[in-house]
């Protein structure tokens, strides 16, 4: 049985606006979809984005600048800005810090930010007190730089010594804020027991209620994105075979806002026994590409650094229609997938032993859709692969994207009501769309054999046969209803002929 997740989320982060994060909840769910096919993976980028930093959240500012919030040494929240997503400049000072005699006196372990409806932001952050209590607290800011802590606890477990952390927040379609966070399901602090929890707020994060378990299994660091077509995807750290810490990232695809299924394969993986992934942020930094920022602690170290990885090739995964006919002059098609680029996109169709066929009129309505026209007339029967080449030269192939077939045969009878004694006869046109063998036979209404009109090879096209109303032995049939059976390449038709005196 596949593991499934459910989630309620409505407002998301985008590269152009100042919005942000998201998360989930579990239920077992069996569905199939082409979204369970291969999906985009991340390719590691060279260099370090930020040293001594565990990335937490990204906000797009109004001046096309990105602001990343990150935690250093589990003591303070800092921020850095970037215009390209690669080079980050730390902003002066810190945004939030642990404080003696406060509920965050020991550590700050995660944070997430959402804009308020009027002005400014609210941050939820998970912290530990000097007495070992775990809490999710909050702070507000008018500019995203200077933050003021709010009194009281936003979320905590029934026992304060139970771990809560890894907080993320989102707004739902109904206007509620929803928090997603990790909580130890056994009442202690063991990553093997971390469950995914959720709670909601009707006042933009000031008060929270309705805490509930979403995923009871071990759940690692996570982030969630909304695709252009409205579907949701969650990325989460998982254990590789034989590993005891999160070293790879997998994903779940949403079938609705409340239901997710595991996608096959691994989206990103670190080197075996090199260290562990402690946090991650996925952000759409261009019209069609996603960048993964992940906090990575090298083996033997407790200080993470922020690294990044990028989606590179396009990801075609489905085509409509899946079948086209070689007798048709052209077929309009739609390719679905992800990371289709702006600019000139090329789509070609190929089959072993055949020349490639380029699509014409290729358009890219969005990063998940390509449309075009394929000249299918005379194409060889069988499966054809579709290759998408983005404007930057990155390409990917969808195997067996299109099956070229031939249409069903047609039988047309002219004068199917005739008088043989007056020289009348029925004209029978048998049209097939592939070469092969055909037969045409006549029977009585009770199944008695009358005559074989045709039996032999036919070429693509129309074969015309005449029946003057006689039997196999040349006698004129009696008046009545007769049944014609025609068989051939994709042809199995039964038609009626009436003979009158």
217 and 299 within one domain: yes
Task: Give a three-class secondary structure readout of 118-157.
Answer: CCCEEEEEEEECCCCCEEEEEEEECCCCCCEECCCCCECC
Which SS3 state, helix, strand or coil, does residue 422 take? helix
Which of 311, 333, 349 terminates a domain? The answer is: 311
170 and 300 within one domain: yes
Provide the sign of the torsion angle of the four alpha carbons 367, 170, 45, 250, taken in this order: negative
- What predicted TM-score, i.e. pTM, was given to this entire model? 0.81
CATH number at residue 336: 2.60.40.1220
How many CA atoms lie within 13 Å of 280's alpha carbon, on the beta-carbon side? 31
CATH number at residue 13: 2.115.10.20
478 and 368 within one domain: no
208 and 92 within one domain: yes
According to DSSP, residue 85 is labeled S
422 and 340 within one domain: no
How many CA atoms lie within 13 Å of 276's alpha carbon, on the beta-carbon side? 15
461 and 398 within one domain: no
- Which of 457, 421, 423, 41 has its CA nearest to residue 265? 41
Provide the sign of the torsion angle of the four alpha carbons 263, 265, 268, 269, taken in this order: positive
284 and 176 within one domain: yes
Total structural domains in the chain?
3
330 and 195 within one domain: no
Which of 286, 311, 336 terminates a domain? The answer is: 311
129 and 11 within one domain: yes
79 and 209 within one domain: yes
429 and 395 within one domain: no
CATH number at residue 439: 2.60.40.1930
- Domain span at 79: 4-311
79 and 95 within one domain: yes
Residue 427 CA to residue 441 CA, distance in Å, equals 14
Which of 252, 280, 311 terminates a domain? The answer is: 311
**pLDDT tens by residue, the chain, 501 residues:** 334 443 333 334 433 333 333 333 333 333 333 334 446 799 999 999 999 999 999 999 988 899 999 999 899 999 999 999 999 999 999 999 999 989 999 999 999 999 999 899 999 999 999 888 999 999 999 999 999 999 999 999 988 889 999 998 887 778 899 898 999 999 999 999 999 888 999 999 999 998 888 877 789 999 988 889 877 788 999 999 888 999 999 998 877 666 778 899 999 999 878 999 999 999 998 999 999 999 999 999 999 999 999 999 999 999 999 999 999 999 999 999 999 999 999 999 999 999 999 999 999 999 999 999 999 999 999 999 999 999 999 999 999 999 999 999 999 999 999 999 999 999 999 999 999 999 999 999 999 999 999 999 999 999 999 999 999 999 999 999 999 999 999 999 999 999 998
């Amino acid at each position: 049985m596949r593991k499934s997740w459910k989630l309620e989320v409505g407002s998301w982060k985008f590269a152009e606006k100042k919005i942000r994060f998201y998360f989930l909840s579990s239920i077992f769910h069996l569905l199939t979809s082409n979204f369970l096919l291969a999906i985009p993976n991340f390719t590691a980028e060279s260099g370090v984005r930020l040293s001594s930093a565990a990335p937490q959240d990204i906000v797009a500012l109004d001046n096309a600048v990105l602001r990343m919030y990150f935690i250093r040494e589990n003591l303070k929240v800092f921020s850095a800005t970037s215009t390209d997503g690669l080079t980050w400049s730390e902003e002066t000072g810190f945004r939030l810090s642990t404080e003696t005699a406060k509920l965050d006196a020991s550590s700050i372990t995660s944070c997430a930010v959402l804009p308020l409806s009027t002005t400014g932001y609210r941050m939820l952050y998970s912290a530990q007190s000097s007495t070992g209590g775990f809490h999710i607290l909050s702070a507000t800011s008018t500019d995203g730089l200077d933050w003021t802590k709010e009194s009281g606890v936003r979320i905590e477990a029934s026992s304060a010594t139970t771990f809560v952390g890894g907080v993320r927040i989102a707004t739902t379609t109904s206007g509620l804020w929803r928090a997603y966070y990790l909580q130890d399901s056994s009442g202690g602090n063991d990553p093997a027991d971390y469950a995914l929890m959720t709670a909601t707020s009707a006042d933009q994060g000031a008060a929270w209620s309705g805490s509930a378990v979403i995923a009871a299994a071990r759940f690692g660091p996570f982030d969630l994105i909304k695709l252009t077509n409205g579907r949701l995807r969650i990325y989460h750290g998982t254990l590789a075979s034989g590993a005891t810490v999160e070293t790879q990232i997998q994903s779940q695809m949403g079938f609705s806002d409340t239901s997710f299924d595991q996608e096959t394969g691994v989206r990103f993986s670190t080197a075996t026994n090199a260290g562990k992934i402690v946090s991650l942020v996925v952000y759409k930094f261009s019209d069609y590409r996603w960048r993964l920022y992940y906090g990575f602690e090298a083996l033997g170290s407790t200080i993470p650094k922020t690294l990044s990885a990028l989606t590179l090739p396009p990801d075609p995964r489905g085509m409509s229609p899946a079948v086209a006919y070689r007798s048709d002059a052209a077929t309009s098609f739609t390719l679905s997938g992800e990371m289709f680029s702006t600019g000139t996109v090329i789509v070609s169709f190929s089959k072993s032993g055949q020349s490639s066929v380029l699509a014409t009129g290729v358009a890219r309505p969005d990063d998940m859709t390509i449309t075009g026209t394929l000249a299918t007339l005379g194409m060889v029967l069988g499966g054809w692969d579709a290759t998408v080449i983005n404007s930057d030269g990155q390409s990917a192939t969808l195997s067996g994207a299109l099956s070229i077939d031939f249409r069903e045969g047609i039988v047309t009878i002219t004068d199917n009501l005739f008088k043989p004694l007056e020289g009348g006869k029925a004209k029978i046109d048998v049209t097939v769309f592939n070469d092969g063998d055909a037969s045409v036979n006549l029977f009585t209404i009770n199944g008695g054999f009358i005559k074989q009109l045709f039996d032999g090879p036919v070429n693509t096209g129309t074969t015309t046969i005449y029946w003057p109303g006689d039997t196999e032995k040349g006698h004129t049939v009696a008046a009545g209803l007769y049944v014609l059976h025609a068989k051939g390449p994709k042809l199995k038709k039964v038609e009626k002929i009436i003979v009158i005196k």
